[in-house]
Structure 1
Amino acid sequence: MLKIGILGEYGPYPAPGGTTTGLLVQTETGHFLIDIGSGVLAEMTRHISLNDLDALIITHHHHDHVSDLGVLKYAIMVERAQGKRDRPLAVYANGEPKNDFAKVTMKDHVIATPIFADTVLTLCGATVRFAAVNHAIPTLAVAVEKDGKKFVFSADTGPCPEIERLAEEADLFICEASWLIADEGPAEIGHLTTKQAAEIAKKADVKDLCLTHLYPDYHPETIRQEGTQYFGRPVHVAQKGMWFEL
């Protein structure tokens, strides 16, 4: 079993009542987070307890992907002090920039291990692989595979061959779509339009596409229409509380 929950869908800041990037991955043997943006910790605790969280992956060190890391550290520390959690939290964080990685560990409570494009992890019975993608700072896209099923998260990226290769034949591709077609930003920022995300997914022959990292002012139906037009079949638009099971 591989279940993926959307805990946050906005970027670079949340809409009123919303949250920025965070995904909860569940298998038969545990749970791990991918990114922990604004509001993600509170949303996670709607689904699991802090003691149920086995690990956190950090794709990159931009605030809309890590802003709840500080309060997560406090939560783990307090839960352990009260005897509600029996172990430190393992965090697998992008090893670059080094000064950002160095801030992740909290002695005795949060233990950080650096990850890079060639890192391979086994988490909760799933194999986790990475690819360096095209963003303003070092960023890793994530592929999670278990029992013949494959889920890929683009993280933040502009067009690049690395994300196309990682997403190839994925059962589920959760891909950033920061811009509507008319609003495409400068290439050096490293983000995708709805059209670019859909075209990558189509080229990679993914089975199911969910667009995320949504600008708060955009209407979800506009995002859906643009994505569907270029993917060639209906796409999902990420929404807090949405779940996929592979």
Structure 2
Amino acid sequence: MRIHVIGCSGSFAGPTSAASSYLIEHVDADGRLWRVLMDLGSGAFGPLQNVIDPADLDAVIISHLHPDHYLDLTGLEVFWAYHSRTDLGKLPIHGPAALPDRVSGVLGREGHIPAGVSAAPFDYHTLTDGHRFSIGPLEIETRAVLHPVEAYGFRLTADGVTFAYSGDTDSCEALDELAAGADLFLCEAGYIEGRDDRFTGVHLTGRRAGEAAARAGVGRLALTHIPAWTDPGIPLAEARAVHTGPITMVQPMDIFDVSCSSTEEGAP
């Protein structure tokens, strides 16, 4: 399984990175390459096109309805609806129940069909807590996590390899369950101990991300969702103080090749 970091800036697009977006690739037993996009936040659709042709996407999963995780779906919809190719079909989009109406609201229209076309380009599927579904060879488990809006974290498994993604969350039991034994744990660390203590139930700190990784016994922890105003060395140091396993601070366009219980795989 391969993870491409399209954007990793926390809460809004930063000067050097788009907001959250991660491309997951995995080859099935027949040699077919599957491509699933996890989140498509503000500014991410542009750099995504430097990695793949968006027409090659098999599905998109949206963790929650904050703009830094879903807003560039509007650009992807334009791409999909008005593309010169006529064989694209409907692109499966998995997200909270309100996602289709939210996208339509941003675009200022009634319904889910763009102007001038006869059918909706997206096929929406609603996420729920504890939901399990498959996209090609990827087995996906969804858990509700602790955030001010309906939000989900994910556990993806294929061919014995497990990748866990926190989405946006504070510490919670569901996060620990998603991360348990994961070969790669992509975990947000948007807050700093002391500076952000007045906020609860919103984001993890580097320390809390490290504690979750230690409890879960993950192969590698990759910290993400760092806001532009934060020195990434601070959450990294917080995590290292409580977790002895390998830790990486992600950067845009990093690639993670995930293998079973590997402690050497990571961003190039």
Relative to structure 1, the CA distance from residue 22 to residue 133 in structure 2 (aligned partners, 3 Å threshold; closer, same or farther) is same
CA RMSD, 1 decimal: 2.0
1:58 maps to 2:62 = yes
Report what 1:45 is aligned to.
49
Q: For residues 102 and 77 of structure 1, what CA distance do their matches in structure 2 show? A: 13
1:221 maps to 2:247 = no
Report what 2:23 is aligned to.
24
1:245 maps to 2:257 = yes
Report deviation, 1:86: 2.3
Report what 1:151 is aligned to.
163
Report what 2:131 is aligned to.
119
Structure 1: which 5+ residue stretches go unaligned?
none
Percent of pairs with identical residues: 25
The alignment's TM-score, normalised by the length of structure 1, stands at 0.92
Deviations 1:69-119 (A, max 9, x none): 11110011122xx11652221101122589548869544311111111122
The alignment's TM-score, normalised by the length of structure 2, stands at 0.85
Q: For residues 97 and 112 of structure 1, what CA distance do their matches in structure 2 show? A: 8
More helix by share: 1
Relative to structure 1, the CA distance from residue 108 to residue 24 in structure 2 (aligned partners, 3 Å threshold; closer, same or farther) is same
Q: For residues 171 and 237 of structure 2, what CA distance do their matches in structure 1 show? A: 20
Q: For residues 153 and 103 of structure 2, what CA distance do their matches in structure 1 show? A: 17
Report what 2:77 is aligned to.
73
Report the more deviating stretch, 90-99 or 60-69: 90-99
Match of 1:34 among 14, 38, 41: 38
Deviations 1:9-55 (A, max 9, x none): 11211221321011100011310111100121111111111221111
Report what 2:262 is aligned to.
none
Relative to structure 1, the CA distance from residue 42 to residue 84 in structure 2 (aligned partners, 3 Å threshold; closer, same or farther) is farther
Report what 2:94 is aligned to.
92
Relative to structure 1, the CA distance from residue 99 to residue 182 in structure 2 (aligned partners, 3 Å threshold; closer, same or farther) is same
SS at structure 2 position matched to 1:244: strand
Report what 2:3 is aligned to.
4
CA contact (8 A) 1:176 1:214 kept: yes
Q: For residues 105 and 128 of structure 1, what CA distance do their matches in structure 2 show? A: 26
CA contact (8 A) 1:184 1:192 kept: no
Q: For residues 167 and 38 of structure 1, what CA distance do their matches in structure 2 show? A: 26
Relative to structure 1, the CA distance from residue 182 to residue 244 in structure 2 (aligned partners, 3 Å threshold; closer, same or farther) is same
Report the more deviating stretch, 214-223 or 46-55: 214-223
CA contact (8 A) 1:121 1:127 kept: yes
Report deviation, 1:130: 0.6
Report what 2:223 is aligned to.
211
Relative to structure 1, the CA distance from residue 160 to residue 213 in structure 2 (aligned partners, 3 Å threshold; closer, same or farther) is same
SS at structure 1 position matched to 2:208: helix
Report deviation, 1:222: 2.7
Aligned residues: 243
Relative to structure 1, the CA distance from residue 97 to residue 19 in structure 2 (aligned partners, 3 Å threshold; closer, same or farther) is closer
Structure 2: which 5+ residue stretches go unaligned?
28-32, 106-110, 114-118, 259-268
Deviations 1:209-243 (A, max 9, x none): 01111011122233322221221244111111011
* One-letter amino acid matched to 2:77: K
Q: For residues 49 and 122 of structure 1, what CA distance do their matches in structure 2 show? A: 22
SS at structure 1 position matched to 2:11: coil
Relative to structure 1, the CA distance from residue 19 to residue 85 in structure 2 (aligned partners, 3 Å threshold; closer, same or farther) is farther
In our comparison, the structure showing a higher alpha carbon Rg is 2
